[in-house]
Chains A and B, each alone.
Chain A
């Protein structure tokens, strides 16, 4: 459930950032969009629902304004917040869905396809997705071989954020590249009197992200996707190895602010304050790229690069550069020319460039120039997503049914929190995870 956190994170971005929009307006993009038809002035209306509110809503409105300029179509946006799945479900049942919706979880896309609510979009954006996106994005948005969605927004979830001063004070000059290096640096930090990590385990979804990053590196993309689909059980030996690897960090109270009890009771974004606040208690926080937008809100005097930075989640046993990602997928409920034009537009580099320039956004479209990103940190995070290509693994808990991967106090969130309380209980945790997965996936 990266959406909840993202929204909170971006809600605090300055309005000033939005003001710079006019300068951009898609002018920086190439003409290789391959979407000449979306340039026609067709006019009319289209309704769009998404979870975005606050600054994210304003930024997305800028994208829709660009759409209006290009096609003459007025897009009416409605923010549905966390209630989007419920509201969509009711609207579909009641026969009055919006024209287009942008879904925060791919699981929802499959649910809607099962209900027969979505229109396939292969015929008019299939080519663009093939030529401008890594194939993983097209696969994620497909059901039974048919394409139903366009991944418009991505999030890099393989970023470990660190307070630069805490590392240099401990004599660590370059961030670790491997997990073993990271463990070594953590023990150096401990000797220097700095707690290595501020954990955000009070928010269950941060623990699923930890698990997924380690699992991806321990087991590889193929196994990762198999576990995400629950075609291998949670009692698989690779899961055990993952927990053992995680326990090297979570098993030691000295690695985390407040020990195990602190790790499991500190929610996101309190953990960010612990590491980046005026009196930092820890050196590092692991969470997705949106941490970069939270840090300035907890400590205005900390500068990007010199004060805080991130390193890619380290490699384990020589695993290649892999990125765990989240994303928002645009789907179509009614096949009007206006809806088709909007989906084509969202797939184009024009749309992605507008928001990318405003910040807090990563486009999975390879044709969005890295130069449009507002700063080095967001550029590096975006580059990692593009460079990983098909080694992008989509957030596993977001792919899972919500009952397993997205509910407070049950399923994966609660099981991982209970594991953090007692990290030696690996087999018990696996049994509970497997039981919860069987119940939620139905197989």
Chain B
């Protein structure tokens, strides 16, 4: 008993007491009583961290227990249950930090790198194929304005006998198709609308003028739109960028560059960004900071589920295997359906195990730290911050702040105590 008490005193009791004491002093060693605690509850960044911990505690333990239960019940019934269990459990073999690194790549915004966006992008690009000139900064020079749909339309009405010069900029040379030929000024043709669409840029060139060396833009889809908004005719520009609508009858038209020319490929969702899942417009600065729950929170919870569902499954599975089969048989004999058996027999018998998993997970997410550090990009960490990470930042990344960091640690400790007490009581029972 003596050595154990000594060890416990040295590595648990002393640091705890010292941390509590340290939390009452400022950086210069002056006693400031509850000063650090006032700062703690008066700093928006720390309140955001506390809020995120609350979200984690509310969402994660129930979700992971539920998933573990589903997996455990299902694996009892399938043929390859051992293989399935192994696969679901495998992420447990990876450190939390590595899990963060892996999921950072999974969540990459660029569909060429992040697997989730790649999957979404593959489907999205089939439904909405990107245009030949899908350039973010393509702009008309003169005579055209952008439309709400992403196309461009002539400012003035055109009619038969018109020759239009449609210069576009913001097109890198590499995006001009190799077949493109030099642009040529269009000449008017009676009974037709003619024109030229070209890359209106060359070093030292003039804006709105077809300068030598400037190339036409082939494959541009153009529409002739009548006054009532109907598309009267459609054509595609040639290799030199020239186009022509023949047989144009009287009346005035507008010329439009179809939005499909410029349709962007799927750009990827910024899964680790700070887009708010809750509406916060109309709130003040502090209100927005506190109530805007970033998408990154949800993404981090999913990554954590990937890691811990296997653990929950194994523990609950063990509980399931230890159930008294006779009781289940009896229920079935009495004519209970599978669902009723589960609801009224299996579930109540499993309750103690479920509670153990649930409480373990609460403790687990209260002290969550490394997955946020490694998964969440720097620019989202203010919004996806958690208490333990805030303690580390305040206390360990600079020379100062030890008092405040101690106060945060004490606060976190106080949060964990009731959960631990609950757990201890259950174990006693």
Query: Taking beta carbons and an 8 Å cutoff, which residues of A are in contact with B?
Result: 82, 85-86, 88-89, 107-108, 111-112, 114, 168-171, 190-195, 201-204, 253-254, 259, 261, 264-265, 267, 401-403, 406-410, 413-414, 417-418, 421, 428, 431-432, 439
Contacts and interface: CB of A to CB of B under 8 A. Distances in A.
A100 to B, nearest CB: 17
Given A85-B397, A168-B203, 8 more contacts: A86-B397, A86-B398, A169-B203, A170-B203, A195-B137, A259-B136, A261-B270, A414-B45
Interface residues of B, number: 41
Nearest to A110: B399
B170 interface: yes
Contact of B399 (A82, A259, A265, A402): A402
A264 B399 contact: no
Contact of A88 (B201, B270, B399): B399
Contact of B270 (A111, A112, A204, A265): A265
Given A265-B379, A410-B45, A254 B136 contact: yes
Interface in B372-412: 377-379, 381-382, 385, 393-394, 396-402
Interface in B147-192: 169-173, 175
A428 B169 CA distance: 36
**Most A Cβ at <10 Å: residue of B139, B274, B398:** B398
18 contacts: A89-B402, A111-B399, A114-B28, A170-B201, A190-B137, A190-B169, A193-B170, A193-B175, A204-B378, A254-B137, A261-B109, A264-B379, A402-B400, A402-B401, A407-B393, A409-B45, A410-B382, A410-B393
Given A108-B399, A202-B379, A204-B379, A261 B273 contact: yes
Given A406-B397, A439-B39, A169 B173 contact: yes
Contacts of A421: 274
Contacts of A431: 285
Contacts of A194: 172
B202 A202 contact: no
A243 B203 CA distance: 32
Given A193-B175, A193-B201, A401 B378 contact: no
B324 interface: no
Contacts of B203: 168-171, 192
Interface in B231-271: 270
Interface string B198-236: 011111110000000000000000000000000000000
B207 to A, nearest CB: 8
Interface string B269-291: 01001100000000001000000
B170 A191 contact: yes
Nearest to A407: B393
A428 B204 CA distance: 42
Interface in B125-143: 135-137, 139
B173 A193 contact: yes
A167 to B, nearest CB: 10
Interface of B: 28, 39, 43, 45, 109, 135-137, 139, 169-173, 175, 199-205, 270, 273-274, 285, 377-379, 381-382, 385, 393-394, 396-402
B378 A413 contact: yes
Contacts of A190: 137, 139, 169-170
Nearest to A205: B378
B378 A203 contact: yes
A194 B170 CA distance: 7
Nearest to A262: B109
B97 to A, nearest CB: 16
A192 B379 CA distance: 31
A426 to B, nearest CB: 13
B397 A202 contact: no
A83 B397 CA distance: 7
**Most A Cβ at <10 Å: residue of B109, B204, B394, B400:** B400
Contacts of B135: 193
Nearest to A261: B270
Given A85-B398, A88-B399, A191-B201, A428 B285 contact: yes
A204 B382 CA distance: 11
A403 B172 contact: no
Given A190-B170, A439-B43, A86 B381 contact: no
Nearest to A401: B400
B377 A86 contact: no
B369 to A, nearest CB: 13
B273 A265 contact: yes
A333 B173 CA distance: 60
Contacts of B285: 428, 431-432
A14 B398 CA distance: 32
A88 B400 CA distance: 11
A408 B171 CA distance: 37
The 9 A-B residue pairs with the shortest CB-CB distance, nearest first, are: A171-B203, A402-B398, A409-B381, A193-B172, A414-B382, A191-B169, A409-B382, A85-B399, A254-B137
Nearest to A263: B379
Given A85-B398, A191-B170, A401-B400, A171 B202 contact: yes
A198 to B, nearest CB: 14
A201 B379 contact: yes
A267 B378 contact: yes
Contacts of A410: 45, 382, 393
A406 B169 contact: no
Contacts of B274: 421
A265 B204 CA distance: 35
B377 A265 contact: yes
Nearest to A264: B379
Contacts of A265: 109, 270, 273, 377, 379
Given A261-B273, A402-B398, A192 B382 contact: no
B398 to A, nearest CB: 3
B82 to A, nearest CB: 42
A375 to B, nearest CB: 29
Contacts of A114: 28
Contact of A403 (B139, B202, B382, B398): B398
A359 B377 CA distance: 31
Contacts of B377: 202, 265, 267
Contacts of A195: 137
Nearest to A267: B378
Contacts of B45: 409-410, 414
A254 B273 contact: no
A402 B405 CA distance: 14
A401 B270 contact: no
Contact of B381 (A259, A261, A408): A408
A60 to B, nearest CB: 22
Given A254-B170, A409-B385, A403 B401 contact: yes
A234 to B, nearest CB: 14
Contacts of A85: 397-399
Contacts of A407: 393, 397-398
Nearest to A168: B203
B201 A192 contact: yes
B378 A202 contact: yes
A439 B42 CA distance: 10
Nearest to A417: B379
A401 B173 CA distance: 47
**Most B Cβ at <10 Å: residue of A259, A401, A417:** A417
